[in-house]
Structure 1
Amino acid sequence: MEEKSAPHVLIFPFPAQGHINQMLKLAELLCLSSIQVTFLNTHHNHKRLLQFTDIRSRFARFPGLFRLESISDGAPDDHPRPSGFTFDFSKLFNMNSIMSPDLRNLLLSNTNTTPVTCVICDGIMTFAIDVAKEFGIQTIAFRTTSTSYFWALFCLPKLIQSGHIPFPVDADMDESVLTVPGMEGFFFRRRDAPSFFNVKEVTNPALQFFVNETFNSSKASALILNTVEDLEKPFLSQIRPNHFQNVYTLGPLHSLLNNLRIATTNGRDQIDFASSNHNGLWEQDRSCLTWLDSQPLKSVVYVSFGSIAVLTKSQLVEFWYGLVNSGYPFLWVKRSGGEYSGEDENIPEELREGVRKRGCIVGWAPQEEVLAHRAVGGFLTHSGWNSTLESLVAGVPMICWPHQVDQQMNSRVVGELWKIGVDMKERCDRSTVEKMVRDVMGGARREEIMRSVAEIGDVAKKAVRPAGSSYMNFEALVQDLKSGCQENC
C-alpha cells in the first residue's frame, strides 16, 4: 500500500493587510495542529512583516512546521504601497502573468522540504489554483470577506439581467434590490451593494476582475470562510448547493485561534499571546493602551478606518469636529503613511485642543486589545470584515462608515440585519458624526443595540468553543488535510 505524504500546506494571501492577517491566523492554527505550512508573501510585504511583527519568534514555537517564502508582485521597490498598490487595477489584472512563473518555480524547487500537498490561496488569487493543478496539487480557496458579499458577486449575472446593474442614471440609491436570493430577510438597497457595482458599464474593469475571480474560485475543491455558520446561514445555504459543496466556516478566526492557543498551553502564556496577534504592515503604537487605562469604563470611542481608506481633507475635518463635539473621549488611529490626502496643516486650533483634552491619536494600534479594553464603548469603523468580527466578539457596538468593496454590505448587515450598530454610509458631516456617536455611546438606542451585541457575540463565541460549528469545521479541515486532501479538499 502506497504511503501518503505528510501534509504540507502552501498559504498564499492577496497582498493586502486584511488578507494577510486572516491567513496568518490560519497558518498558526494549522501549525498548532502539527501541519507543515509555507506562507508565501510578496517581497515587499514579507519585509514589512519581519520589520513590524514578531512573526519569526512567534512561529519558532513550531520547529520544522513553518516557513516563510516570498515572490515579486511586479511593482518597483519605490511603488507607494501598500494602500496604493492594492487597488491599482493595472497591477491586479496582471497578477497572473507576474506571479504565476514565480509560484510555479517555487513548487518546482521545493525539494528540500516535504512536497506541498495542498495550496490554500486567496479567493482573488485564482491563478494559483491553475498553477497548483499543473502539479496535481489539491486547492482550497479562502475568501476573507463576508459571505453576504461573496454571494452577491455570484448573483451579478442575475442583477445585470434584471436591470439592477448598471445603476440607472439618477437612480434612487435607497430602492431595494429584490433579485438576490437569501437577502429577503433584510432591506438590501442599491447603496448597500459592493462599491464597484455602481458603474456605468458592465464591462468596468474593477467589476469584471472581482466577479471573474469569484467564479474562478469555484475551480477549487473547497472553500474557507472567516464567518460563523449561524450568522450567515441564508447566504451559505445559497453558496453550498450552487458553487461549493464543501465549505469550512472557521470564524471568527482570531477568536478560534485564541481559544486553541490557550487549550494547547493549558492556559499558559495568555498575556504573551495577546500581544502576538499583530500581523500587520505598520508598527503598532502600544502607548494607546496606557492612555485607555486612564479612561472611565465604556467611555471611549475607538476610531479606525483600516489599512486602505484614504480620506479627503474635508472628511478629516468633519470627522474630527464630530468626535470633539460629541463630548466623548476618543482614540483615533490616524494611519502612518497616507490615510489622508494632504497634510494636517491649517487644522483649526479648537480641534487640536479637543485632542489634548480628551483624545489620543496614534499611527497604528493593537486593535484586538483595544476593542477588548474595558474603556472602549464604541467603534467608528470602515466596516472591514476583520474589524467587524473583532468588534462583534469584543462586544463593542459599531458606527459604520464603509469605504469600498465589501464594506457597504458589511455595514448594512451590522445596522439592519444584526442590529449591533448604526450605518452612516457615505455621510460624514460633523452633525451626523456627533449624533451617531452619541446614539451609540449613550443615547436612547444604546440599550437596544447592546442587547443585540450580546446576543450576536454569544453566537460567535459559542462557534469557536469545542463542539461549536467553527471548532468542528476546523477539526474537519485538519483531518481532510492529514488524509491527503482527497475527495473533500
Structure 2
Amino acid sequence: MAGHAIVVPYPGRGHINPMMHLATKLASHGISLTFVLTQAWHKIITQAEDDFFSHARKLGLDIRAGLIPDCVVGESERWANKAAFFLSLSNMEAHVADLISNLNRSGATVSCIVADTLLSWAVPLTKKHALVSVSLWPNSVTNFSLFYHSDLVELQGRIDYIPGVPSLKPTELPNGLFYSSPVSHGIAQSFLNVREADWVVVNSFHALDCRAVEALRHKTPVQCVGPLNMPFTYWGDGKSDSESSQWLDSKPARSVIYVSFGSFINVARAQVGEIAAGLMQSGYCFVWALRPDAEASEIWEMLPPGFLEECKDRGLVEPWFRQEEILSHPSVGGFFSHCGWNAVMESVSASVPMLGFPLAMEQFLNCKLVVEEWKFAVRGRSREDENRIIAAQEIAGNLKMLMEGEESARLRGAVERFRELAKDEVTDGLSASNLKLLANRLKAGH
C-alpha cells in the first residue's frame, strides 16, 4: 500500500504557490499527503479567494492541512530582518517530527517528505526517520547550479566557469552569493544537504534550462517537472467572472499591460510615483497589483494625488489580482514584472512577454536570463540601477518597446515558442514523465 507524503513549503508566497501546484499534481497521481503550514499561513491560504484546500476537496484529492505553531518570524517582518527569519526556519523541524509521529499513530503511515530546498533541516530529518526525501527547488535549474557550485564563485571579473550557467557579472548574482551572512550560510548548508536527497525536482522545463540540467546530470540529477502552474489553474471555482475579468473583456486583444512586483518586497514610494506617471505617459491600459507598504493602509496613499481618478478609465489598481487569470486573458499583451521565478513561469505559460524590473534576491539573475538567454523580455532595471529611481519617460519608452513594433513582435515570437515547448513537456513530455516516475516511486516507497 502506498504511504503518506508530508509536504513542507518554505513559508513565503513565492514558495508556497509552486508547492501547492506540485502537491495537486502528486495527489492527482494517487498520492495521499499532508500539506504543512504554520497557523498564520493557513489563515492566509484559507481566507484567500483562491482557497487551495477547498479546491483540492472539490477535485476529490487526498490533501489535508497539517498545522504547526507560528514558530517562524512573520511575513511582515521577514524582509526587515532576513537573518532572524532564516534562522527561525529551524524551529519548524521539531513540529514536523511531531506531525510525523502523530500521523503514524493515526494509521497514515508516512513514507516521504517533500520539502523546499531552502529548508536545510528537511533532508537530515527524512534520513533520521528512514523516509524518502524529495527536494523541490522552486526556481530555475540555472539558479540551482549557481548555488550548488557556490564554492567556485569569486567576486572578481566575469563568472564564466559555473557548469551550465551563462557568463555573469558579480552584480548579476543572487544576493545569497555575494555577501556573507546567516542567510548565505544557511543557503550553503541547504545545498550541501540537498546532495543527499533521493529526488530533486525543479519548477522549470528542459527546453528552457537544458544547459544547466545537463551540467548537473552526473552530480545531483535534477528532474524538471514544470511549469508547475501549467496547465492554467487557480484555486477558485474555475470561473472568470471577476470584476477585473469583465473589465478586461472590454479591451482589445494584447492591448493591456499587467503590472506586479510580487508579494514580498515593496517598491520605493518615489519609484511608485514614476511608475504611475510612466503608465499614464505610455498611453496603454493597465492592471496594477499594488500592495500597500508598511507606512500605508490604503493603496491611494502610495500614489500621486489624483492618480486613481485620472486613470479610472484606463487602469485597474488593487492590492491583489488572480495573476494567472489576468495573464491568460486575451487582452493582456505585456507583463511589467519584478522577474520572480513564478512570474517568469506564468509569463511563459500565458505567452506574455515581460518588462523586467527586478528588486532583489535572484531577480536580477532571472532578468538576465529572460532578456539575454531566452530573449522574451526587455530589461527595465539592472542591479546598477538598484538604488536609482527610473524616470517615468524611460518606463514609458520601455513599455512601448514591449507592446508594439518590431522588437515587440520578436519578444512575442520567442515567448510563444517557449510556451509551446512547455505545453508539450507538461502534457506528454519530460516534465510529465518525470512527475509520473516520481509518483510511481513514492507509491512504491522508494
Partner of 2:87: 93
Verify: 1:221 aligned to 2:217, yes or no: no
Tell me which amino acid in the other structure corresponds to 2:279: L
- CA distance in structure 1 between the aligned counterparts of 2:248 and 2:437, rounded to whole angstroms: 40
Secondary structure of residue in 1 paired with 2:321:
coil
Q: CA deviation at 1:106?
A: 1.1
Partner of 2:396: 434
Deviation sequence 1:346-383 (CA, Å, 0-9, x none): 84446344422311101111111111101101000011
Question: Taking structure 1 as reference, are residues 339 and 49 closer, same or farther at Cα in structure 2, changes over 3 Å only?
Answer: farther
Q: CA deviation at 1:304?
A: 0.4
Partner of 2:189: 212
Partner of 1:298: 254
Gaps of 5+ in 2: none
Partner of 1:188: 168
Q: Which runs of 4+ in 1 moved over 6 A?
A: 339-343
Matches within 5 A, 1:233-382: 233-242=210-219, 244-245=220-221, 247-256=222-231, 272-273=237-238, 286-336=242-292, 338=294, 344-345=300-301, 347-349=303-305, 351-382=307-338
Alignment RMSD, CA only? Answer: 2.6
Matches within 5 A, 1:135-174: 135-160=129-154, 163-164=155-156
Partner of 2:366: 410
Gaps of 5+ in 1: 165-174, 262-269, 276-284
Aligned with 2:432 (options 471, 474, 484): 471
Q: Is the 8 A contact 2:6 2:114 kept in 1?
A: yes
Aligned with 1:108 (options 73, 76, 101): 101
Matches within 5 A, 1:60-71: 60-61=57-58, 65-71=62-68
**TM-score, length-normalised on structure 1?**
0.83
Verify: 1:452 aligned to 2:446, yes or no: no
Question: Taking structure 1 as reference, are residues 207 and 54 closer, same or farther at Cα in structure 2, changes over 3 Å only?
Answer: closer
Q: CA deviation at 1:328?
A: 0.6
Secondary structure of residue in 1 paired with 2:254:
coil
Q: CA deviation at 1:410?
A: 1.0
Q: Is the 8 A contact 1:250 1:256 kept in 2?
A: no
**TM-score, length-normalised on structure 2?**
0.91
Q: Is the 8 A contact 1:288 1:362 kept in 2?
A: no
Secondary structure of residue in 2 paired with 1:177:
coil
Deviates further, 402-411 or 423-432: 423-432
Tell me which amino acid in the other structure corresponds to 1:255: M
Verify: 1:119 aligned to 2:113, yes or no: yes
Aligned with 2:161 (options 168, 173, 179): 179
Question: Taking structure 1 as reference, are residues 471 and 70 closer, same or farther at Cα in structure 2, changes over 3 Å only?
Answer: same
Q: Is the 8 A contact 1:31 1:62 kept in 2?
A: no
Deviation sequence 1:2-55 (CA, Å, 0-9, x none): xxx423111000000111111111111122111111111111101111111333
Deviation sequence 1:173-197 (CA, Å, 0-9, x none): xx6322222234xx53233211343
Tell me which amino acid in the other structure corresponds to 1:359: G
Partner of 2:443: 482
Question: Taking structure 1 as reference, are residues 128 and 449 closer, same or farther at Cα in structure 2, changes over 3 Å only?
Answer: same
- CA distance in structure 1 between the aligned counterparts of 2:298 and 2:63, rounded to whole angstroms: 41
Question: Taking structure 1 as reference, are residues 257 and 472 closer, same or farther at Cα in structure 2, changes over 3 Å only?
Answer: farther
Q: Percent identity?
A: 27
Q: CA deviation at 1:341?
A: 10
Deviation sequence 1:398-426 (CA, Å, 0-9, x none): 00011222211111111001110112224
Q: CA deviation at 1:448?
A: 1.3
